[in-house]
Amino acid sequence: MTRRNTLGRWAGLLSGLLAMAACTSESPGGGGSGSGAGGTDAAGGDVGAGGNAPAGGSGSGAGPGTGSGAGAGVGGSGDSGGSGGGEQGGGCGSALFCDDFEAYGDSGEPGGAWSVRVNDAVLTMDTTRAFSGTKSVKVSAAGGSGKVAYLVLGGAPVFPVEGNHFFGRMRVWLESTPADGVNWNFIEGEGVVPGAEYRAQYRYGGQHAITDGGTVLGSQLKANYETPDSYGGTGPGSDCWKHADKVVLPVADWVCVEWEFDGPNDTMRLWLDGVAVESATMAGRGDGCVNASDDFPWTAPTFQELHLGWQAFQADAERTLWIDDVALSTERVGCAP
């Protein structure tokens, strides 16, 4: 795996100052979790249970704490905030951070506050598809197992968030999802558990094919809790899951994905296109664990990093997705243009 920053210190500082100015202007705009092999029929209940062992502990991508360019913003006040590089696809409000990716080049990795974490995958700026403006981030993961392609946002001035409770939103276009039991993630919040010496991760992704009369509708969404340092002997094992009730992430279209990571209450929530995925809400514990008892508590870390992109833990086909209009806030961001 590689972890690298694409802008130097001085470039990051300059772009951060531009971003802070932009965000105060008005804008319109690890391990593998799982409940085992098997699928779920849309007309019936869950099929299959039992865990699949992870491929190994997942590393951490370290992100710089500087602001990004004119298409991004850090901070904000009142009802202002947003992008300076293009119309934001959904308002930033009093966002902690927002980025429409318009400030970066037409190719290469995005810069500013972002670093990347990749393994046999490519993460690059792209102009072939965008929700707002003309640019987005394209994530391309090769076929096989253990593929990782994450945008990483870490450290000051965004993290740690006051109160350790934040909301996020991004626009996602996913070409396809696994049609089997492959376990994958696309949102991951990470940090050290308070009073402990090990990291924990709150994740959203999917596993298990949802079918209707033999037709695969998609991969069932899930919440996941992981303690990656346990694979090196530090902290307890976990790899816990909570499956959504036959809800899938739509493909071949832009989807507004929102999430909430509530550290003090050990709770996480998910929305698709403004609609709550109630069965993906986790409060305290999930449905089961691979490396712990089923009632193992999902103790939230003090969030220090956010990872957005794609990670698959079993052998999978090639996957491609695009990410646009990322925003983080201490209140729900929403999807309204």
Global model pTM greater than 0.85: no
Give, rounded to a whole angstrom, the gap between the first and last alpha carbons of the chain: 37
Surface-to-core class of residue 192, CB atoms within 10 Å of its CB (0-12 exposed, 13-18 middle, 19+ buried): middle
Do residues 323 and 308 lie in contact, with contact meaning Cβ atoms separated by under 8 Å?
yes
| CA 6 – CA 138 distance, rounded (Å) | 16
Domains in the chain with CATH codes: 97-329 (2.60.120.200)
- DSSP state string for 86-98: S--SS--SS-SEE
pLDDT tens digit at each of 337 positions of the chain: 444 433 333 344 334 433 333 343 333 334 444 444 344 445 443 332 233 333 333 333 333 333 333 467 766 433 333 333 333 444 466 799 999 999 999 999 999 999 999 999 999 999 999 999 999 999 999 998 889 999 999 999 999 999 999 999 999 999 999 988 899 999 999 999 999 999 999 999 999 999 999 899 999 999 999 999 999 999 999 999 999 999 999 999 999 999 999 999 999 999 999 999 999 999 999 999 999 999 999 999 999 999 999 999 999 999 999 999 999 999 999 998 6
Is 289 strand, coil or helix? strand
Which residues 6+ apart lie within 8 Å of 44 measured at CB? none
